[in-house]
Amino acid sequence: MTICCSSIKRFISTVAIFQILWGFLAMILLVTFVGQTKGAWANTFIAASCSAKDIETAISKASTGDIVEVPSGSCTWGETIKIDKEIMLRGAGIDSTNININVRPGILISARANISGFTFRTSGKYVISVQSTASNFRIYDNKFYLTGSGTAIYVGGAYGLIDSNIFELEPSALGSEVIFVRGPENSWLTPNSIGGKDNLFVEDNTFTLSGVGDTGSTQAIDCNANSRVVFRYNNVTNMKFDAHGLWSNTPAHSARHYEVYNNHFYVSPGDGTVVMWRMMEIRGGTGRIFNNICTGMVKWGPDKYPDIRLIEYCDAVTSMPNGNCTNFVCPSDYPMMEQVGRGLNNSLKPLYLWNNTRNGVQIGAHLVDWPSRAAIDYCGFFEASDIIKENRDFYVSDTKPEAIADYTPYPYPHPLRSAGEVPPHPSNLRIR
């Protein structure tokens, strides 16, 4: 069989063209894929200044998928900036775009949005308020500076991500609830989302309260009514993690569930001059608490170290609606509604704690009564140990319990951290 040279050349040429076309097609597919997975941010609108008015003007021009850039500078906001579209609001960076919040809230988010690149300062105000319609929001790479008791971020019923922020509190901010969370209204009527995506994720943040005598009332995060929270990989100094119970909330519900892991809690200085009552305070709901480290001297009273406190105090008359317990199951009738270790339809769903340490020593959970608040009421007196029992309502171990062997934490870092990436700040854009 004879093959002429021209035929071979034509064949080679055809293969080469095919390879070029295939490579070009592959490149298109790759770009499309990256655009889909990393978030295809479209147009950029630059605010004339960091004033609320100029930012609102830029937001009004933006559409879904656009970026609103805020230049460096220092401004005071006396009116709320409203974000009701899926956009990125981006400052020039921490300590470059500085905003003093003089209104509550400074930013109101009612649609999926990203906020980054600001330094916010406030005393007694909400900096950012996230509504239930804003799920999959992301707040990251900001600094929040609280000079008085207040809240940096309020989340009301939305799921999303708060990551890589710095929260700094002066001693005058004692008693702050830095992040305050409420969950969806039907949270206690639907199956749990432990290990899943439908939660509020708070990860890789730094919380610091400057040293004061007694820091026990200051909360890095307050998991309030119906909340579903994952609190992980955070550094927390002189503050606590808090999950509220049914008695103290409006609407009247406990935190639904929480996953708290791989956090580092510090007491600074760790010489006993700073008194931090507890690393965590758990008053209701269920969850997973593991691999947390506490460093420093944590004390409550002269010789007690309740690093993780479990509480049930429905006996506090002054804390009950209408001053009584008539709307609650009496303590003698275990279980209490939405107490520690309860889940869907108030069924038994134990809280699991493992491998939590203080200064290198394994710690468990402490049951705490509130005798100073107890009063003779419709429910009478009771001890926490009558209501919350180890190896029934909660379990403590050094390693992950076999009973929840199928539990797997949600992927870390959170996928929104890559899906929401945007290009770097442009250096050649001008305001016209």
- Render pLDDT for 265-307 as a digit per residue (tens, 0 to 9): 988 776 666 666 678 999 899 999 999 999 876 555 544 555 8
Strand partners, 166: 143, 206
Does residue 383 carry a pLDDT above 60?
Answer: yes
More confident residue, 79 or 385: 79
Q: Is residue 227 part of a domain?
A: yes
Q: Is residue 186 part of a domain?
A: yes
Give DSSP secondary structure letters for 197-248: SSSEEEES-EEEE---SB-TT-EEEEE-TT-EEEEES-EEES-EEEE--GGG
What rounded mean pLDDT belongs to the chain?
82
More confident residue, 168 or 27: 168
- 79-88, 296-305, 358-367: range with lowest mean pLDDT: 296-305
Rg (CA), the chain: 26
Q: Rounded mean pLDDT of 368-389?
A: 56
H helix runs in 298-430, sequence order: 384-387, 416-419
Report the number of distinct structural domains present in the chain.
1
Give the Cα separation of 430 and 67 in Å (integer).
Answer: 15
Q: Provide long-range contacts, Cβ within 8 A and 24+ apart, for 244-247.
A: 244/283, 244/284, 245/283, 245/284, 245/311, 245/312, 245/313, 245/338, 245/339, 245/340, 246/284, 246/314, 246/328, 246/336, 246/337, 246/338, 246/339, 247/283, 247/313, 247/314, 247/316, 247/319, 247/320, 247/328
Per mean pLDDT, which of 37-41, 57-61, 332-336 is the most reliable?
57-61
pLDDT of residue 377: 39
**367: pLDDT confidence band, cut at 50, 70 and 90?**
confident
Residues 210-267 pLDDT 10s: 876 666 679 999 999 999 999 999 999 989 999 988 765 556 799 999 999 999 998 8
- Percent of the chain past pLDDT 90, that is, above it, reads 59
Does residue 430 carry a pLDDT above 50?
Answer: no
Core vs surface per residue 16-34: b (16+ CB within 10 A) or e = eeeeeeeeeeeeeeeeeee
Q: Which segments of 113-176 are extended strands (E)?
A: 114-116, 119-123, 126-130, 137-140, 143-148, 151-156, 160-163, 166-169
**112: pLDDT confidence band, cut at 50, 70 and 90?**
very high
Q: Rounded mean pLDDT of 332-338?
A: 77
pLDDT of residue 317: 39
Does residue 313 carry a pLDDT above 90?
Answer: no
Q: Rounded mean pLDDT of 378-397?
A: 78
pLDDT of residue 314: 56
Does residue 18 carry a pLDDT above 50?
Answer: no
Nearest to 154 by CA among 216, 98, 227: 227
Does residue 309 carry a pLDDT above 90?
Answer: no
Nearest to 290 by CA among 368, 230, 221, 370: 230
Q: Is residue 354 part of a domain?
A: yes
**397: pLDDT confidence band, cut at 50, 70 and 90?**
very high
Residues 121-179 pLDDT 10s: 999 889 999 999 999 999 999 999 999 999 999 999 999 999 999 999 998 898 899 99
The total of other beta-carbon atoms located within 10 Å of residue 2's CB is 4
Q: Is residue 401 part of a domain?
A: yes
pLDDT of residue 271: 62
Q: Is residue 258 part of a domain?
A: yes
Amino acid found at 180: F
Domain that holds residue 333: 174-409
Q: Is residue 90 part of a domain?
A: no
Q: Is residue 117 part of a domain?
A: no
Q: Is residue 348 part of a domain?
A: yes
pLDDT of residue 321: 47
